[in-house]
Structure 1
Amino acid sequence: MGIVQRQGLRNTVISYFGLALGFVNTAFVLPTLLAPAQLGLTTLLVSIATVYAQFSAFGFASVGIRFFPYFRNREAGHHGFLPFLLGLPMLGFALITAFYLLAKPLILARYEPADVALLQPFYAWGSLLALFTLLYSLQDAYLKGLYHTAFSSFLQDIVLRVLIASLALLYGKGFLQFHEFVLGYIGLYGVISLLLTGYLAYIGELHLRPTRAALRVRPVSEIVRFGGFALLSSLSGSILGFIDSWMVSAQIGLAAAGIYGIAYNISTALTIPARSLNKIAFPLLAQYWKDQDLGKMADFYRDTTRLNTILGCYLALGISLNLDFIYSLIRNPVYATGTTAVLLLLAGRLYDGITGVNGLIVVTSPRYRFDLIFNLSLAGVTIVLNRLLIPVFGITGSALATLFAIVAINTARTWFVWYSYRLQPFTWRIPLIMVVAAGAGGLVWLLPALPSKLLTMLLRGTLLTALYGGALLGLGLVPEARPLLQKVLRRP
């Protein structure tokens, strides 16, 4: 796991620094400077652009990772792989753009008049945001195949967030009108896409000359067929990720979507460990399948699951025990109505981490088509549950639907990987880690609240770290830390 540790460490450092920046944006900058409806608008535009870009890409972001090992040859410009990777998605973008613009009356009809007045001026600009999102995702997939993942993480998690915060401050100080803020917000996605292109040129991997060799390395029909399945699979996955904000905004309003967006952003802290590992896991698993090395895959599956469980339990406890403090930092108290939604979303994120990289194993395996079946089934259930639960429970109902979807799809995938390949991610350490986490969390929860929420947070955080970390080290549940611990203990 040498390359995983190196790239994973870099991505983790970048991601957690980005998490801190994202928290500042979420807790201080955006809720202070934007009304809930305005925040809901930016969230909605990004979610629309993400799905829009996935339709356009026709699954080629996944193709770029799945098939790149067959094209890899730097001296030959990887046989024209990059222009091949960009070609079909650009055609798809033109077709989807025509549909998107023609469907404008139908889409806007789903919203209340006040929300339509806010959304309509920026509807067409959503196409440009989708284009920037598409170009970034394709270049990012190419870099994953090259095992260069840290710089794209740096752009996405740090540079973009710093620029968004700066733009919001300009709006808050009166230097920008709201429509100028939104257009600048869209433009920032273009900036990071252009910077990623510059990085490819810098490392000597911007091979834009098309060659016929790209059509001969692997059968084009196989690649396009995989792309079609990957498209449907990624779309259903996006439905799981974005349908909640869409349906909250349509059924309640953009203001509710803004509140839910804050809850969703807080819960995403739990995705950082898995996301950092997955950036290198996807191409590595593709290589394992190519080499038919199921032994290394099994070790990787178990190791990443254990690490995700350790970090996920710690983060879930740290956030849930200090939600009062987190929401106290947001000056607008209306956002605190999303507290219950945060807890439900945290439970879903934790289950996702505990079940490991099952989805990546399925989608890179010869039976990748089954991932589509899982995702489409769960996407349908998610839509139905959101439709039923949002009118009754509001944004809490949407969080319940998301929790059910995450638990169901990961249970099904974990069983499928075991049934098909006899690979499973669990060892005796997993339940013991969860027992330790429950015990440490219970003891910290019993502490009485201090008059200061800041002091309460510091006390709870310190005690949780000491109890949880000490128990893990004492029981040998983090073997990677043993050499470092022994080295520290040997110091005079």
Structure 2
Amino acid sequence: MGIVLNQSLKNTIITYIGFAIGGINTIYLYPVFLGATFYGLTNYVTSCANVIMPLFAIGMQNTLVKYYSQYNTNEERSRFLSFTVLFPLLSIIPFLLLGLFFYDEIVFFLSKENAIVKNYIWLIPIIGLSMAYFEIFYAWARVHMHSVFGNFIKEVGLRLFSLVLLLGVYYKWLTVEGFVYATAVLYILAFLVTMFYAFRIQKPTFQFTIPANTKEILIYTFYIILSGSVANLLLDGDKMILNQYMKIENIAFYSVATYIALVISVPSRAMHQIVYPITAKLMHENKHDELNSLYKKTSINLQMVGGFVMLCIFVNINQLYEMVPKEYSGGIMVVFMIGLSKYFDLILGNNNAIIFNTKYYRTVLFLGVALVALTVGLNMIFIPIYGIIGSAFATLLSITLYSLAKLLFVVKKLHLYPFTNQTLHSLGITFIVFLLFYFWQFPFHPIVGIVLKSFLVTVVYIYANYKFVISVEINQVLDKLIKKFIR
């Protein structure tokens, strides 16, 4: 776990810096500088792009990670890298042609509730294409154990330059309409920078040569497309559906709430970047015991770190919403619902990495497709009745069922178990700390209250987890820090 802890720590720090910048953008700059309409529009465009991204990438980012280590010579690996970059064009070109042919019909359908969407729909495939190739070249770097730079671009770079663009709107260097176009340019630049970084790690020798195990790769790729589509639809599909039923301002209200809740998943995102290739290697070498140990370690470590983040959000949520315009306050319940779904997914550790690297992955993927249909159906039922809270409930139910299904699959089929006694202890500590602090409000400015309460939660939570030895690895890290502090 040395390299895992090293790069996971760097990735976690980078990701939290990115989320801090994103938090400033989301809670203050977007609502105030852009307004609810153009904030909702920007989120809608990027969410749609994220949903179609798996169709453009056709799973090559995951395919690259799974199969790269199985090639023995540099020539074979170079040919495989070329294949993963060039093969998506076979999907991208037909989709773009179809989009052009049915452009008027697509525009009419997507803009029937919100006419403002009409002028920006053409940005969706451009951003989706940039996202797809960013992920492919990021995977190129990750298989060479270089996960930090791409993570920096994804988590910090995009948000930092969005902040600069928002300041440009404030100082009238840029119009709110221009901001939406500039956001598309940012994604293009992120893809290009990551591509050149990947080429620096290993120079490409492009040749469209089909690998020897093409049939196996294509079958895997097909199911990864399903997986990526399922994951992204569960993440951003609700915003697409909101656009069909409600005014676009509601996407802004929903986006603030979901962004706050998504902070809970940051540790998982950070660790996944480096754990995925290690999981693939252990499974390829049939090291069951080492894999089971890694599964338990990632589960309890993520539960402990994610539980802390969730607590800081939940106990401070009322003060946090005092700092945004009042019309956004209806999103508090959305934060709780989406946050709980992310926490449950978090404590499953490297569950996804295990499933994607086993021969049984296709069964769970079809289950995921069924759950997407359930999500869409539930959103269509609950959004007209309960608005954004109905959408959050539909997402909570769908993601929880999907996560539970994946957990049972890994336990039953692979005999891998993520939970230990420490799992229950951690849940108990988290719940007790929540009850201690949620109902206690400081009569100060919201920022001062949040800082004070977060400090107290940090002290109590870390002490309780350290005392009960919830995570041996985290305790070892704390022991080293204590020794350094004493010296």
TM-score range, shorter chain: over 0.9
Q: What's 1:67 paired with?
A: 67
Deviates more, 1:340-349 or 1:179-188: 179-188
SS for the counterpart of 1:321 is helix
SS for the counterpart of 1:71 is coil
Runs of 5+ unmatched residues, structure 1:
none
Q: 2:389 aligns with which of 380, 396, 409?
A: 396
Aligned residues: 485
Deviates more, 1:47-56 or 1:384-393: 47-56
Q: What's 2:228 paired with?
A: 234
Rounded to whole Å, the distance in 2 between the matches of 1:453 and 1:152 is 35
Rounded to whole Å, the distance in 2 between the matches of 1:354 and 1:125 is 36
Q: What's 1:173 paired with?
A: 171
Q: Which amino acid aligns with 1:231?
A: I
CA 1:397–1:350 in 2, change beyond 3 Å: closer, same or farther? same
Q: Which amino acid aligns with 1:136?
A: F
Q: What's 2:195 paired with?
A: 197
Q: Which amino acid aligns with 2:118?
A: Q
Task: Quote the offset at 1:369 in angstroms.
Answer: 0.8
User: Superposition pairs for residues 218-257 of structure 1, below 5 Å?
Assistant: 219-257=213-251
Q: What's 1:286 paired with?
A: 280
Q: What's 2:84 paired with?
A: 85
CA 1:62–1:361 in 2, change beyond 3 Å: closer, same or farther? same
Please give the per-residue CA displacement for 1:277-314, whole angstroms capped at 9, x wherever unaligned.
11112211111111011111101110010011111211
Instruction: Check whether the contact 1:52–1:96 (CA below 8 A) recurs between aligned residues.
Output: no
Q: What's 2:256 paired with?
A: 262
Runs of 5+ unmatched residues, structure 2:
none
Q: What's 1:207 paired with?
A: 204
Task: Quote the offset at 1:451 in angstroms.
Answer: 4.0
Deviates more, 1:37-46 or 1:76-85: 76-85
Instruction: Check whether the contact 1:30–1:165 (CA below 8 A) recurs between aligned residues.
Output: no
CA 1:482–1:260 in 2, change beyond 3 Å: closer, same or farther? closer
Deviating 4+ runs (over 6 angstroms): none
Percent identity reads: 23
User: Superposition pairs for residues 325-474 of structure 1, below 5 Å?
Assistant: 325-330=319-324, 332-474=325-467
TM-score by length of 2: 0.95
Deviates more, 1:283-292 or 1:352-361: 352-361
Q: What's 1:22 paired with?
A: 22
Task: Quote the offset at 1:72 in angstroms.
Answer: 5.7
Q: What's 1:120 paired with?
A: 118
Instruction: Check whether the contact 1:268–1:349 (CA below 8 A) recurs between aligned residues.
Output: yes
Rounded to whole Å, the distance in 2 between the matches of 1:486 and 1:114 is 57
Rounded to whole Å, the distance in 2 between the matches of 1:464 and 1:476 is 18
Task: Quote the offset at 1:175 in angstroms.
Answer: 1.3
Q: CA RMSD in A?
A: 1.8
Please give the per-residue CA displacement for 1:419-471, whole angstroms capped at 9, x wherever unaligned.
11111100000110111111122111242442432332223212211111111
Rounded to whole Å, the distance in 1 between the matches of 2:448 and 2:85 is 52
TM-score by length of 1: 0.94
Rounded to whole Å, the distance in 1 between the matches of 2:275 and 2:55 is 24
Task: Quote the offset at 1:177 in angstroms.
Answer: 2.3
Deviates more, 1:161-170 or 1:98-107: 98-107
Instruction: Check whether the contact 2:113–2:247 (CA below 8 A) recurs between aligned residues.
Output: no
Rounded to whole Å, the distance in 2 between the matches of 1:30 and 1:312 is 26
Task: Quote the offset at 1:125 in angstroms.
Answer: 2.6
Instruction: Check whether the contact 1:112–1:253 (CA below 8 A) recurs between aligned residues.
Output: no
SS for the counterpart of 1:423 is coil
Q: Which amino acid aligns with 1:24?
A: I
CA 1:286–1:190 in 2, change beyond 3 Å: closer, same or farther? same
Q: Which amino acid aligns with 2:11?
A: N
Task: Quote the offset at 1:485 in angstroms.
Answer: 4.4
Rounded to whole Å, the distance in 2 between the matches of 1:88 and 1:156 is 23
Task: Quote the offset at 1:315 in angstroms.
Answer: 1.1
